Amino acid sequence: MTSSPFDQFFCLDELIQAYYLGTQKFVLLSRVTKKEWAIDLGLQGTEGRWWRGIWKEKDLLAHSGPKSSSDKLLDIAEQVAESIVKNEVVLSGWTIGSPNAKLKLLLAVSSDKPIHFQLTEISAEEAASYASQVLFQIATRAQSRNCQLHGTYEVPVASSDGNLVFFITDVSPMKAHAPLAATLASSSLKSLNRESGSSSSKKRVESGSRNAAAQPAPSKKRKERRESSSSEPEDKPKPKLPPKPKGASLANPSKKARKFQPVQFESDDD
């Protein structure tokens, strides 16, 4: 396969940028093949006008030099791509309502050798055909991302505090909205459970505080017990014993005491 100087311009292929000139809005598209580098500039509005500029190999070598290295060509392409991405382009020759206007596009303005691109207006039929071609390419590539034009979708979800937040996802709108109701319901239920749990905990704390306030402190209880014990009389009344029966034994009150009579001895006189 023969090499082409446009092989180093791959970074300029399929670039697209919105460009503003006063109140006018333009769209700039860059595309590269092995044989040419083309820029299309479309004017947004009812007129639907388009301009096109093409660089062939001789145009590129006339700008860079006939013996330019691959590194030099790549450096030129990267400078142009950066100027398009940063919207650092200058458009001249534009006049509102002027038919068949030829525009000049200045690229890589901050480089040592800016690129001057000549743009010629194309016919309405050719412009419509090109616009349809671009839209078809966009639709074909959107098939890989569920036919979304922009490839991302903002999905609303419920945060922990019940508020809605948004995050970017690659899920299609239909799939993104499917679990939304369940997510919101689950979040609401969790929020209610938290609220009921916190209220019951608060009630338990308040009840415990009231009980604690109603009951005296342990030290106070001990003090009251000491005071009550000290206020009791020292000499407690002793229980009365039943009266002893007359003639009862001292050793065994239930029995009668034994009586002893004095022993009498006979005298020697008798």
Q: Is 98 left (phi over 0), alpha (psi -120 to 50) or beta?
A: beta
Classify residue 120: in a domain, yes or no.
yes
Which residues contact residue 11 at a Cβ distance below 8 angstroms, ignoring those fewer than 6 apart?
A: 74, 77, 78, 81
Residues 70, 109: one domain? Answer: yes
Here the CATH number for the domain that contains residue 97 is 2.170.210
Residue 79 has a pLDDT of 95
Span 2-19, average pLDDT? 92
Of 12-21, 119-128, 162-171, where does mean pLDDT reach its minimum? 162-171
Residues 109, 171: one domain? Answer: no
Residues 191, 113: one domain? Answer: no
Which residues contact residue 122 at a Cβ distance below 8 angstroms, ignoring those fewer than 6 apart?
A: 50, 51, 52, 130
Residues 169, 72: one domain? Answer: no
**Domain end residue (candidates: 144, 163, 186):** 144
Residue whose C-alpha is closest to residue 79's, from 91, 92, 63:
63
Average pLDDT for the chain: 76
**91 close to 19: Cβ distance less than 8 angstroms:** yes
Please tell me the distance from the alpha carbon of residue 201 to that of residue 138, in angstroms, as a whole number: 58
222-247 confidence digits (pLDDT tens): 656 666 655 555 555 666 666 665 65
Residue whose C-alpha is closest to residue 256's, from 266, 268, 269, 246:
246
Residue 58 has a pLDDT of 95
Of the chain, the percentage scoring pLDDT greater than 90 comes to: 38
Domain residues for the domain of 177 are 148-210
153-185 confidence digits (pLDDT tens): 555 555 666 565 555 555 444 454 445 445 545
**Domain end residue (candidates: 91, 118, 144):** 144
As beta bridge partners, residue 42 has 27, 50
Please tell me the distance from the alpha carbon of residue 217 to that of residue 203, in angstroms, as a whole number: 22
The end-to-end CA distance of the chain, in Å, is: 182
User: Counting runs of H as helices and runs of E as strands, what totals does the chain give?
Assistant: 6, 9
Residue 99 has a pLDDT of 75
Please tell me the distance from the alpha carbon of residue 172 to that of residue 253, in angstroms, as a whole number: 111
**110 close to 84: Cβ distance less than 8 angstroms:** no
The distance between the two most distant Cα atoms of the chain, rounded to a whole number of Å, is: 193
* Alpha-carbon dihedral angle through residues 127, 129, 135, 140, given to the nearest 10 degrees: -150
Please tell me the distance from the alpha carbon of residue 157 to that of residue 202, in angstroms, as a whole number: 30
- Which residue bears the tokens 């009840």? 207
Please tell me the distance from the alpha carbon of residue 80 to that of residue 115, in angstroms, as a whole number: 8
Q: Give the Å distances, CA to CA, from 122 to 42, 51, 138.
A: 10, 6, 22
Residues 88, 169: one domain? Answer: no
Residues 184, 125: one domain? Answer: no
Residue 269 has a pLDDT of 58
Classify residue 222: in a domain, yes or no.
no
Which residues contact residue 52 at a Cβ distance below 8 angstroms, ignoring those fewer than 6 apart?
A: 38, 39, 40, 41, 119, 120, 122
Structural domains counted in the chain: 2
Residues 175, 51: one domain? Answer: no
- Which residue bears the tokens 């999905």? 155
Residues 136, 158: one domain? Answer: no
Residue 100's pLDDT band, with cuts at 50, 70 and 90, is: confident
